[in-house]
Amino acid sequence: MSLTGDVCVLTGACGFLGEKLVRLLLEEEKLAEIRLLDRNIRPDFIQSLEDCCGETKLSVFEGDIRDSELLRRACRGATLIFHTASLIDVTGAIDYRELYEVNVKGTQFLLETCIQESVASFIYTSSIEVAGPNPRGEPIINGNEDTVYTCTQRFPYSLTKKEAEQLCLNAQGEQLCNGGCLATCILRPMYIYGEGCRFTLSHMRDGIRNGDVLRRISRREAKVNPVYVGNVAVAHLQAARALKEPQKRAVVGGNFYYISDNTPPISYSDFNHAVLSPLGFGIQERPVLPFCILYLMSFLMEMFQALLRPFLRFTLPFNRQLLVMLNTPFSFSYQKARRDLGYAPRYEWAEARKRTTDWLASVLAREREQISLK
């Protein structure tokens, strides 16, 4: 079903996924208005949208998601929320209080505002990390939403995303001020890659510093299924369309969906090599140290960090949960999203890989120059 005439709010509009979703909405729907909400709205991004917005009105709401007045203004008269905004942290660089305030409290404030302003549909962008892997590194291969898996989270980021998910599930069916009911839907993408991915860019920078050789941080057999950002944007659009259709709304509301595509299962390290090898990057054959030794080192560093925390705060280069995540086979099917949302990947691996590599090629010279100046 079309979103023609709808007014949607997109949080994290200038983010990695947010940008792709805005462009997709402008290309494929005749929305009455798209309201872009972000802490930092880049003028160049807004200018780049002017030629493709057509009759869709673009409105900018710059500020913090914890600002209740900003949320009320952004949501007033809206029909749909895409909540992609989030603080992402896998190394402990961000204080837990800030992660909680943005990822959990921000989601809570947004849901409350939806109820007050009678916004009918709410789509939350979660993360595969709420599912695991667990500290024991138990694998999942081609799992689905019904896969039973026990996972006690340790990452503050994972914990906050899981709690925000629960808030969304609890809000399903809440009565709106206009007498309607709120429908919520959660999307759990795999590791998202593509043009603009800061994690891939970071690995490229590390490779440059290491003489154009990528460091192997995951074992070959620890295969996951990354998902291209363009396909994740398509999944969001399909979720919004499903929530607009009464019969599908009853099925989709209150559910979560894993979002993957046809990217071949591959380890994180080998994925980095796959998109960077055309640019002349090699990769280490094996990790510098065996997994068990790296795990022990991580444990000792975490204990040392805990002892010094009252006097000194610093970020570790890696920790046990990150090490386990990078070395555990962990992949999921998108078949439930296909069935309920009508989702199908639009970009196959060959095109997604080329787009990612072309983007990396476009910034490679600049990155080399910046690194050489340091």
Tokens encoding 194 = 């593509």
The secondary structure of residue 181, as a DSSP letter, is B
Phi/psi of residue 238, nearest 5 degrees:
-65, -35
Task: Please state, in angstroms and rounded to a whole number, the distance separating the CA atoms of residues 77 and 79.
Answer: 7
Strand, helix or coil for residue 162: helix
pLDDT of 20 = 96
Whether the predicted pLDDT of 155 surpasses 90: no
pLDDT of 46 = 83
pLDDT of 241 = 97
Q: How confident is the model at residue 151 (pLDDT cuts 50, 70, 90)?
A: confident
Q: How confident is the model at residue 195 (pLDDT cuts 50, 70, 90)?
A: very high
pLDDT of 91 = 80
Q: Provide the CA 269 distance to its chain's centre, in angstroms.
A: 19
Question: Are the C-beta atoms of 157 and 95 separated by less than 8 Å?
Answer: no
Task: Please state, in angstroms and rounded to a whole number, the distance separating the CA atoms of residues 1 and 96.
Answer: 40
- Which pTM does this prediction carry? 0.95
Whether the predicted pLDDT of 315 surpasses 80: no
Task: Please state, in angstroms and rounded to a whole number, the distance separating the CA atoms of residues 218 and 259.
Answer: 22
Task: Give the torsion through C-alpha atoms of 117, 158, 266, 201, to 10 deg.
Answer: 80
**Residue (of 231, 197, 218) closest to 324 by Cα position:** 218
Task: Please state, in angstroms and rounded to a whole number, the distance separating the CA atoms of residues 248 and 214.
Answer: 45
29-79 residue pLDDT tens: 999 999 999 999 888 888 888 777 788 999 999 999 999 999 999 999 999
Give just the sign of the alpha carbon dihedral 306, 312, 317, 322. positive
Q: What is the mean pLDDT of the segment spanning 79-86?
A: 97
pLDDT of 122 = 98
Q: What is the mean pLDDT of the segment spanning 116-134?
A: 96
Task: Please state, in angstroms and rounded to a whole number, the distance separating the CA atoms of residues 243 and 97.
Answer: 33
Mean confidence (pLDDT) of the chain: 93
**Residue (of 264, 268, 266) closest to 217 by Cα position:** 268
Give the list of residues 6+ apart from residue 252 with CB closer than 8 angstroms, or none.
183, 185, 239, 242, 243, 340, 341
Residue % of the chain over a pLDDT of 70:
99
361-373 residue pLDDT tens: 999 999 999 888 7
pLDDT of 316 = 78
Task: Give the torsion through C-alpha atoms of 213, 218, 224, 228, to 10 deg.
Answer: -30
Q: Provide the CA 98 distance to its chain's centre, in angstroms.
A: 18
Provide the residue count of the chain. 374
Task: Please state, in angstroms and rounded to a whole number, the distance separating the CA atoms of residues 50 and 45.
Answer: 9
Name the E strands within 206-350: 213-214, 227-228, 255-259, 282-283, 330-332
Q: What is the mean pLDDT of the segment spanning 270-281?
A: 98
Task: Give the torsion through C-alpha atoms of 25, 168, 247, 26, to 10 deg.
Answer: 0
End-to-end C-alpha distance for the chain, whole angstroms: 53
The least confident of 82-96, 159-173, 259-273 is 82-96
- Residue holding tokens 């440059």? 208
What amino acid positions are annotated as catalytic residues? 157
Task: Please state, in angstroms and rounded to a whole number, the distance separating the CA atoms of residues 232 and 219.
Answer: 26
Whether the predicted pLDDT of 154 surpasses 80: no
Q: What is the mean pLDDT of the segment spanning 191-208?
A: 96
Q: What is the mean pLDDT of the segment spanning 123-131?
A: 96
341 sits in the region (left: phi over 0; alpha: psi -120 to 50; else beta) called: alpha
Task: Please state, in angstroms and rounded to a whole number, the distance separating the CA atoms of residues 250 and 194.
Answer: 33
Give the list of residues 6+ apart from residue 246 with CB closer than 8 angstroms, or none.
none
Task: Please state, in angstroms and rounded to a whole number, the distance separating the CA atoms of residues 172 and 295.
Answer: 40
pLDDT of 205 = 96
**Residue (of 22, 92, 163) closest to 305 by Cα position:** 92
pLDDT of 347 = 98
Domains of the chain: 7-197+226-266+330-349 (3.40.50.720)
Q: What is the mean pLDDT of the segment spanning 200-206?
A: 96
